[in-house]
Structure 1
Amino acid sequence: MKLKSAHLMRYEAWECFIEEIITAQLLVVFDAGCRSTKACRANSLTKRAESGGLIACSHCCNTPKMANTHECNSNLCGLEAMDNQSTQCYYCGHWADARQGVVTDPLQCVKKKLCGDDEICSVTTKNIGGVTKYEFGCKQLLECQTHTIASLELQGVHTGIDIVQLAGAGTLQVIGRKRQINNCDICCGDDYCNDASCESVRRRLVTFANANRLNYTSLKVIQ
């Protein structure tokens, strides 16, 4: 598996992994990402996840990713049937149980997450105590449509969508907290599309939107 940052492989080999976890509320969730080959061999039979849930399935793989295909762990632990329904995203600092917190370099985020059926990828640039940090994860599609289309309009993209009407159905929010400011907040609908800084992902969406290749409903690129 090719990692986003080559220096992470300097000292040991890494593989993709997937875990099916049964939470204390008896919900089935999936945890995916990268871990060392040594950890894959040692923890393949671990019965309890770091979040406290029980691990029903745990597998690693290192099959090279081919063009137009998903990572090798997308077909493990029974996920194949869900592949066309759920979006897979980079995932750092967005949820309380994330093994990676917010990062100061987008390339540092190697954790991955299988989002819910009504969620897509998101990335946020934050200023926390004067330090720029990046948060990656999943957000509700309706919320994403609202603030992403508003953000594209501010970048000069004419979407033809009534932002006021859309905000009435969703949640158009400007977040401002003491010592924490969201400088950029964007979503995208393709697998692992939140693979860079918020500003970079936004520029990418603007390019596709101006070329009439962005679906404003799903926020996916039109092939």
Structure 2
Amino acid sequence: MNEYFSVLLFMLHILLCIKESEAQWYLRCRICNRANALEDCTTYAECSDQESCFTDLVVTPDQRLVYNAGCRSNTACGHANKPVLNGDIVMCSSCCSGGDYCNDGLCDLKKNTTMRMSCDGHEGRPGATQYPEDCQQFRICDYNEACFARTTAVNSDSAIEHYTSCLDLRTCQSLVNGVKDAYHATDVLLGKRNTNICAICCNDELCNEYSCPSIKRRIVNLIENDAFNMTTLKEI
């Protein structure tokens, strides 16, 4: 009987942990501080459940037109826009909560190129992270580059790290070529946390913000459904 109750309590604990994990979802919003364009907004914030994403287009005292963006309380979002905020003349102010980075295009925030996640430890950027969601650094890759993601075992305890950056497009094309067959051959290993290494490229907006095995699964699924361009490395 004691063994039965022990098992019951253990299962209840697991269910509560799952429920708690599922409940902890936070809206991600692009952060801009005196930005001229979206490319200047290289980080994001996770808002509380009482906040939404916002974007303001303002005219500074020295007559520059710039963007500020991030998280803002729902109460402030619901009020009428202030014509002057911290000395800036507010030309446009808008909030949203429809999904991650929904403030990308508010107030006609210009987007001239594709953004990628990049935690590679170069040029002042943070290094590889324990979990993909811990990387909060955006980057613009060159026209001849693509998004790159790598998952690597770092010690004998099967701890892993996630590295994201930009990589030469031709190298990426070679990496993706044949990924379907290689994936099915090693799918079991890639699904475990003790995988030795996983490396993959893609080229859609923020496509490398997930773990390398997850990106591989997505690309293989797209290839099998004739929905992936092997030259541009983008979803069709």
Question: Percent identity among equivalent residues?
Answer: 21
Aligned pair partner of 1:103 in 129, 132, 149: 129
Whether 1:112 aligns to 2:158 is no
Corresponding residue for 2:55? none
Q: Distance in 2 between matches of 1:71 and 1:114?
A: 19
Q: CA deviation at 1:125?
A: 0.5
| Inter-CA distance 141–214: structure 2 relative to 1 (3 Å threshold) | same
Q: Distance in 2 between matches of 1:189 and 1:73?
A: 18
| Inter-CA distance 16–94: structure 2 relative to 1 (3 Å threshold) | same
| Inter-CA distance 65–119: structure 2 relative to 1 (3 Å threshold) | farther
If each structure's helix is expressed as a fraction of its own residues, which one has the higher value? 2
Structure 2 gap ranges (5+): 1-21, 48-65, 72-94, 186-194
Q: CA deviation at 1:208?
A: 0.7
Assess if the C-alpha contact under 8 Å between 2:28 and 2:101 holds in 1. Answer: no
Corresponding residue for 1:34? 44
Aligned pair partner of 2:148 in 109, 122, 141: 122
User: TM-score if structure 1 supplies the norm length?
Assistant: 0.57
Q: CA deviation at 1:185?
A: 0.7
Whether 1:60 aligns to 2:88 is no
Q: Distance in 2 between matches of 1:75 and 1:140?
A: 32
| Inter-CA distance 97–194: structure 2 relative to 1 (3 Å threshold) | same
Whether 1:197 aligns to 2:206 is no
Q: Distance in 2 between matches of 1:14 and 1:214?
A: 27
Assess if the C-alpha contact under 8 Å between 1:124 and 1:182 holds in 2. Answer: no
Q: Distance in 2 between matches of 1:107 and 1:93?
A: 14
Assess if the C-alpha contact under 8 Å between 1:123 and 1:134 holds in 2. Answer: yes
Kindly report the root-mean-square deviation, in angstroms, between the aligned alpha carbons of the 2 structures.
3.7
Q: Distance in 2 between matches of 1:152 and 1:74?
A: 35
Q: Distance in 2 between matches of 1:137 and 1:58?
A: 26
User: TM-score if structure 2 supplies the norm length?
Assistant: 0.54
Corresponding residue for 2:103? 72
Q: Distance in 2 between matches of 1:206 and 1:33?
A: 29
Corresponding residue for 1:138? 166
Q: Can you list the C-alpha shifts for 1:150-174, whole angstroms capped at 9, x where unaligned?
A: 43342359xxxxxxxxxxxxxxxxx
Query: Which structure's relative contact order is higher, taking Cα pairs within 8 Å and 6+ residues apart?
Result: 1
Q: CA deviation at 1:109?
A: 2.0
Q: Which one has the largest radius of gyration?
A: 2
**SS of alignment partner, residue 30 of structure 2:** strand
Corresponding residue for 2:177? 149
Give the 5 Å matches for 1:208-223: 208-222=222-236
